[in-house]
Amino acid sequence: MRILSLIAVLAIAIMISSPLYAQSPKRELRAAWIATVNNIDWPSKPGLSSYEQKAEYIQLLDKLQAAGMNAVIMQIRPTADSFYPSSYEPWSAYLTGTQGQAPQPYYNPLQFMIEEAKNRNMEFHAWFNPYRASNSKNFIPAPSHPMVSHPEWFVSYGGKWYYDPGIPEAREYVLNAIIEVVRHYDLDAVHFDDYFYPYKIAGEDFPDQQSFKKYGARFTEIEEWRRANVDYFVETLAERIKKEKPFVKFGISPFGVWRNKDKDPEGSATQAGQTNYDDLYADVLKWLREGWVDYITPQIYWHIGFELAEYKTLVQWWVEHSYGKHVYIGQGIYRLGQKGWEDKAEVINQITFNRSFEEVHGSMYFSARTIVEDKEKVSEQFKVLYPTPAIPPLMPWLESTLPLAPSRPLAKGNPAEGLALSWAGEADYFVIYRSESTAPDQPDSSLSSSILAKVRASPNGKHHWIDHNVEKHKEYSYIITGFNRLHKESKPSPPIWVKTKGTNKAIKLVKE
């Protein structure tokens, strides 16, 4: 076993040195889901003090950033409860241990989480579960829970409670609960996962027959009515998000199979036991065709070569049905070490395949715990895949103003720490590019390998950053560009060329 382990490590080391693997894209979404339901990822258990919750979250983000992530998909409304003060639903029991009880000492977890993500230049996608109301049939809702004020909106299925998607008042209530967050918080995106109507349970029908009789007169089949309910919800939410804040993205991460080909010639060559269209009543292709979503992240949680739902087959199918929107792939790294996932390079092989399609703009990993705990040494695979930072991809259909090029760039030797850079400009954040070169050569800003750092903008428009990784008797060139919140990049600043000298640990410039 030890010999096999050493061989695996050696193989990964060879990949790291290979140009094929070392050059990663400049623009790529690299995200991790942070699940709060059942305390999967954060907080580690309910009822921690506010100080403990904050410390855990900071450590989690630091580890995700070290792994190369540039976005987090943060679950903030797991079961009709919230990780923020809500006008519609109670505080989550996964946060405090008691539904309806605020954190102590009081703080706003959502605001804190957004600020910490922004401080690291990570996108913050707020993850909502629209219909799930509890994970237990016997749970006792807090007095402020809508199950108390409107029990007629909810149904029990499979030992859990759900909003009935067919009741217009219930749908409107959930829509308003989500838009409240869009309105009051600095989100980059609103995100749904695969839970619309729940996964089917053998021998049990979803109990919405009375709703169908009352509201489904236009439909002959209850299945078509259910799909129409979800369509209405997705379309309406998309419109309201863009009306409230046009720059906020809307993305959905559905189950990996839309339909099997034996049910529909447009379906994939798979044999999935349940599918989006037929079982969850989620017509994902319609949402893409109609332009209701900005991105889709199919959860392709199977290994390459899995017979019933083959990874490469499904990636290619979603690429062919993207309708011009971004495709990110949901990667099932929680399965590392399980049957079919024994290959130490499985993640590398999957991402390398993804990158062969220009329509695939990145990945989302389920879940953060696997990365934080370094399950099956997944960090070694991330070192291969993400040797350099990446900028999230552009969505050209979302309009925004191009930032002006940064101005007045300066470099000064800093005897204690390295080389201090300063510049002026207005942008959401800046990217510093560096190369070891002399005038007139400049860094190639099209390459991720030229990216030295991403720097959050200072409120006063005067920005500073210290390059700690400089050596004496070297020549460097720098350029700086500005980015807006949708990652549109400015023209570069005037270049800076420096030549270093120094004694002991001091770094100075030959001409300063």
**249-260 per-position pLDDT tens digit:** 999 999 999 999
Rg (alpha carbons) of the chain, rounded to whole number: 25
Last residue of a domain, one of 337, 353, 385: 385
314-328 pLDDT per residue, tens: 999 999 999 999 999
Same domain, residue pair 212 and 330 = yes
Q: How confident is the model at residue 208 (pLDDT cuts 50, 70, 90)?
A: very high
240: left (phi over 0), alpha (psi -120 to 50) or beta: alpha
- Of 385, 420, 445, the last residue of a domain is 385
Domain assignment present for 381:
yes
Q: Which long-range contacts (CB under 8 A, 24 or more apart) does 99-107 make?
A: 99/141, 99/142, 99/145, 100/142, 100/143, 100/144, 100/145, 103/50, 103/53, 104/49, 104/50, 105/49, 105/50, 105/51, 106/50, 107/50, 107/54
The whole-angstrom distance between residue 224's C-alpha and the CA centroid of its chain comes to 31
Token reading at 153: 């909106």
Given this model, what pLDDT does residue 416 score? 64
Q: Are 314 and 442 within one domain?
A: no
**Which CATH number goes with the domain that contains 486?**
2.60.40.10
Please tell me the distance from the alpha carbon of residue 76 to that of residue 127, in angstroms, as a whole number. Answer: 6
Residue 395 lies in a domain: no
Same domain, 374 and 473: no
Same domain, yes or no: 75 and 215: yes
Helix (H) or strand (E) holding 413: strand 407-414
Torsion of CA 363, 309, 369, 30, to 10 degrees: 0
Query: What are the tokens at 67?
Result: 């792994």
Instruction: Tell me what the mean pLDDT of segment 95-119 comes to.
Output: 98
144-187 pLDDT, tens digit each: 999 999 999 999 999 999 999 999 999 999 999 999 999 999 99
Q: Do residues 270 and 367 share a domain?
A: yes
Q: What is the mean pLDDT of residues 17-33?
A: 77
Number of domains observed in the structure of the chain: 2
Whether the pLDDT of residue 35 is over 70: the answer is: yes
Distance separating alpha carbons of residues 425 and 460, to the nearest angstrom: 9
Q: Give the model's confidence band at 20: pLDDT under 50 very low, under 70 low, under 90 confident, else very high.
A: very low
CB 18 within 8 A of CB 352: no
Q: What mean pLDDT do residues 22-33 have?
A: 90
Task: Over range 223-239, report the average pLDDT.
Answer: 99
- Let me know whether 284 and 191 are in one domain: yes
**Statement: residue 278 has pLDDT above 60:** yes
For the chain, the average pLDDT equals: 94
* Residues 134 and 232 reside in one and the same domain: yes
Domain of residue 479: give its range.
407-509
DSSP 453-483: EEEEPPTTSEEEEEE----TT-EEEEEEEEE
**14 is a domain residue:** no
Residue 222, domain member (yes or no): yes
Both 434 and 321 in a single domain? Answer: no
Let me know whether 252 and 125 are in one domain: yes
Amino acid code (one letter) for 43: P
Domain CATH code at residue 82:
3.20.20.80
> Residues 136, 244: one domain?
yes
Q: Which of 21-25, 52-56, 487-491 has the lowest mean pLDDT?
A: 21-25
Retrieve residue 440's tokens: 């007139």
Residues 6+ apart with CB under 8 A from 238: 250, 292, 293
Contacts of 93 (CB under 8 A, 6+ apart): 46, 81, 99
Query: Does residue 284 fall inside a structural domain?
Result: yes
Q: pTM for the full model?
A: 0.94
371 and 411 housed in the same domain: no
pLDDT class for 366, splitting at 50, 70, 90? very high
β-bridge partners, 330:
299, 364
- Rounded distance between C-alpha atoms, residue 166 and residue 150, angstroms: 15
| pLDDT at position 441 | 92
Residues 286 and 165 in one domain: yes
* Last residue of one domain, picked from the residues 351, 385, 419: 385
In a domain, 299, yes or no: yes
Cα 184 from Cα 202, distance rounded (Å): 42
Residue 9 in domain: no
How many angstroms separate the CA atoms of 496 and 438, rounded? 10
Give exposure, 30-55, as e/b (b: 16+ Cβ within 10 Å): bbbbbbbbebbbbbeebbbebeebbe
Condensed to tens digits (0 to 9), the pLDDT of residues 233-275 reads 999 999 999 999 999 999 999 999 999 999 999 999 999 999 9
**What gap in Å lies between CA 129 and CA 196, rounded to an integer?**
8
Query: What tokens appear for 478 in the block?
Result: 């720098």
Give the tokens for residue 469: 């990784």
Q: Is residue 280 a part of any domain in this protein?
A: yes
pLDDT at position 501: 82
